[in-house]
A and B are shown apart, each in its own frame.
Chain A
Amino acid sequence: MLSYISRRLGVTFLILLGVSFTVYVIFAFLPFDPAALTCGKNCNDPGIIEANRRRLGYDLPFLTQYWVFIKGLFIGRTYGEGAALINCPAPSLGYSFQEHSCVTTLISEALPVTLSLAIGALVLWLVVGVGLGVLAARYRGKFVDSASTIFVLIGTSLPTFLTGLMLLVFVVIKWHILPFPAGNYTPFLEDPYEWAQILFLPWITLAFAYAALYTRFVRSAVIETSNEDYIRTARAKGLPESEVVGKHTLRAALAPIVTMAGLDFAGLLGGAILTESVFNLPGLGRLAIGAVVEYDLPIIVATTLLAAAIVVTMNLIVDILYAFIDPRVRIA
Chain B
Amino acid sequence: MLNWFYIPLQGILNGLLTGALYALIGMGMALIFGVMRIVNFAHGAFLMMGMYATYVVFQATGVSPYYQFPLAGVLLFFVGYATYMGLLRPIRGQVDFMVILLTMGLALILTDAAQLVFGADYHQINIPLLSKNIHIGPQISINAPWLVSFGIAMVLACALYWVVTQTMFGRAARAIAQNPYAAPLMGINVNRVQAIAFGIGSAAAGISGALLLPVFYLFPEVGNQFKLKSFVMVVLGGMGSIQGAAIAGLVLGVVESLTSLYWGNEWALAVDFVLFILVLSLKPSGIFGSQRA
Bound pair (A, B): no
